[in-house]
Chain A
């Protein structure tokens, strides 16, 4: 099973990538929360590489060894959680992310991934708190806004969801390594458009999503549906073909939907 995260995305998180706070972002302004994130190096870097390669057991063994020598450390505890998160074992990963945050309450990656682990467990309250905590630490991190957008959508608060998806889109727009984050946000903005009966706006959002990230499989799927419903059959067929091509380009899913 391949890890469920991209390494570049994680590296950016681990560097505490900071951009503009959403309510202030308008151009090149930035807000620095002043958090220094200790580097993942030495044996921890080796463990991280093992996780990337899907060798979760060996990674955990190495991390245990490291902690036997160095004691509990937010980075090692985070990587322990990351190994479980990559296996989609979210109850376990959430536990390790919590331990990481207990060890170092301002370790942003643990807050972010606790948000996602909790989301996948259906633990709404913890997820909201964790994403919120992550944003407090690194206000420019768009993916946590995206998570909050999904939670708002689940709660039926469409206005809040739209605001958070727009935050996610804006905060990641100028980061070449976050095109997937931009694309995901655009797909969800299109979903809100559809819920509000605005199919034209939905199509525009979806077309932008596939332009930003041609590998965004669900965007092609939704675009095909949208075009068909608008009576544009040729665009629908094209989107279906692109959807199939994107599926072929992407690693097949593990068999159970997540």
Chain B
């Protein structure tokens, strides 16, 4: 059978929640009062429909997760929107609380921002931000005093056009973070494309018919500077596609970081590092590895990517969200290094046909030991109704609970899952440091929502972060690392992916829930450099930071 791991059996032993909601919407008391801008409603052009990404980062190095929100603008003036925002996490024992610290932070981005990648690009111990835009992207260097400065030109990471997502990762395993930028298509807001037809309805034009733009790779050459490695890495030879998102991790288990790019209505790219080459050399392997399209060879919209170990075999499985009247797709990694579309057999197919999915994540939100799926949804066409397009414009989030070898959506009556929205982006992290995963959702032209996890089971939630504390280490937080964690009789494999989700950056840490009575855990870390470290008998607490000092 497909699923055989012991974790699946143990999952059913946890105490289930019954009456209370799993998540509580605490937006009103969170201190985040931001209604994002992405064009105007109703959306008229494709530029308006993506919404702005979210990034969780500890910008002030105080140990908790702060939030950056990429904010857009409007078609009449894409360079001058209300501006992206930075929120400091000031949560305490009374609950989750943020404070808008944009003013005074040096962040003055009024350009139409799309996404955000967080990473310490210059190895100074402070997390920087790379903001993708419609227009030139922007690198914000963290000065370490709570302020940022524009370092785009100095670092050599300027681009033009329309970028959606970006992520940092040490692709050449030289100890510093390289930067992969995903581009979408050629669009001119002053000469928007002709309108199109969908299910007999006049709708906004694109992406079909518009030229796709290729992705860009910047190799870190030290001292906070990069060189454009798009050509030398082979990326320039990859057919340009409508890129929306990416994940950087070791996809094939060879010890080198790879890049998975989700493309809109075109084959996804699996860019595997070619072994035995100096520097970064990427080989497009999506088709041959079965992950470029669904099992019938049909390209999908791939708005969101989530990576997790769905079937407990320690390999990276990939869940993608797609357009309405299509299904979301689950690709399970197989022992032979290929991926199999197992959407139908796991019950994830028909349930998703009426939804248009965006941000998504694999996460053990309900602390039963296995990875569930959280998906935020909303249609791109304002005129969408069930009657007109078989899908509503406003759609609720979907929580697919992992149940043995299949997924079910039994919590659909819970409040946080009952209200429809125009949701786009999603990040997960332990905002209140209590060991479980809280959720932040970005809605198109709507509020940023904060959902606090209220789970109470007999299993214990544990957050594990990494810190490469060696002298001179530049890639200190190790995006792309893989952790194998043993607690009692259970084993978990988790990744800290660079990117994933949609236009956003998740917290640079992993989360598991461990069985009752576990006092110690063992952790094996596969660092982005390909090296491994073993951490035996680590005492259990809500938050564990594994330092590498050797």
> Which A residues are within 8 Å of any B CB, using their own CB?
1, 56, 87-92, 119-122, 124, 150-151, 153-156, 158, 191, 194-195, 217-218, 221-222, 225, 228-229, 243, 253, 255-258
Contact = CB atoms under 8 A, between A and B. Distances in A.
Contact of A91 (B297, B340, B386): B386
Contacts of B345: 153, 156, 158, 195
Given A121-B353, A221-B296, A91 B387 contact: yes
Contacts of B296: 217-218, 221-222
A33 to B, nearest CB: 29
A256 B347 contact: no
A222 B295 contact: yes
A122 B350 contact: yes
A243 B299 CA distance: 14
A218 B297 contact: yes
A256 B323 contact: yes
A191 B208 contact: no
Q: Is the interface of A mostly helix, strand, loop or mixed?
A: helix
Nearest to B294: A257
Nearest to B342: A195
A130 to B, nearest CB: 14
B386 A156 contact: no
B344 A88 contact: no
A122 B297 contact: no
Contacts of B340: 194
A47 to B, nearest CB: 17
Given A88-B199, A91-B386, A195-B345, A256 B326 contact: yes
Contacts of B405: 156
A54 to B, nearest CB: 11
A89 B390 CA distance: 6
A121 B197 contact: no
B388 interface: yes
Contacts of A119: 350
A121 B200 contact: no
A243 B297 contact: yes
B222 interface: no
B325 A217 contact: no
B434 to A, nearest CB: 35
Contact of B347 (A154, A191, A257): A154
Contact of A258 (B326, B344, B349, B388): B326
Given A255-B265, A257-B299, A150 B200 contact: no
B290 interface: yes
Interface string B381-398: 000001111100000000
A180 to B, nearest CB: 14
A148 to B, nearest CB: 13
Interface string B351-368: 111100000000000000
Nearest to A219: B296
A151 B347 CA distance: 10
Contacts of B288: 228
A221 B299 CA distance: 12
Given A91-B386, A257-B325, 16 more contacts: A87-B199, A88-B390, A89-B199, A89-B389, A90-B325, A91-B387, A122-B350, A122-B354, A156-B347, A158-B345, A194-B340, A222-B295, A222-B296, A255-B265, A256-B198, A256-B325
Nearest to B322: A257
A258 B300 CA distance: 10
Nearest to A150: B344
B348 to A, nearest CB: 9
A256 B381 CA distance: 14
A194 B265 CA distance: 26
B338 interface: yes
Contacts of B354: 121-122
20 contacts: A88-B325, A88-B390, A91-B387, A92-B388, A119-B350, A150-B344, A153-B344, A154-B350, A158-B345, A191-B295, A191-B344, A217-B296, A217-B297, A218-B297, A222-B297, A225-B338, A228-B288, A256-B323, A256-B325, A257-B294
A258 B295 contact: no
Given A154-B349, A243-B297, A257 B390 contact: no
Contacts of A191: 295, 344
B456 interface: no
Given A88-B325, A122-B350, A122-B351, A56 B390 contact: no
Contacts of B143: none
A154 B353 CA distance: 12
Contacts of A87: 199-200
Given A89-B200, A195-B345, A221 B350 contact: no
A228 B350 CA distance: 29
A72 to B, nearest CB: 20
B390 A91 contact: yes
A178 B388 CA distance: 31
B145 interface: no
B2 interface: yes
Most buried by A among B200, B265, B353, B406: B200
Closest A-B pairs by Cβ, 10 of them? A221-B297, A218-B296, A122-B353, A122-B350, A257-B326, A91-B386, A87-B200, A257-B298, A153-B344, A154-B350
A166 to B, nearest CB: 18
A121 B298 CA distance: 19
A225 B338 CA distance: 9
Given A91-B387, A195-B2, A257-B323, A229 B338 contact: yes
Contact of B352 (A122, A228, A253): A122
Contacts of B387: 91-92
A89 B388 contact: yes
Most buried by B among A56, A154, A158, A217: A154
Most buried by B among A90, A124, A150: A90
A100 B295 CA distance: 35
B350 to A, nearest CB: 4
A109 to B, nearest CB: 21
B2 A229 contact: no
Nearest to B404: A156
B349 to A, nearest CB: 6
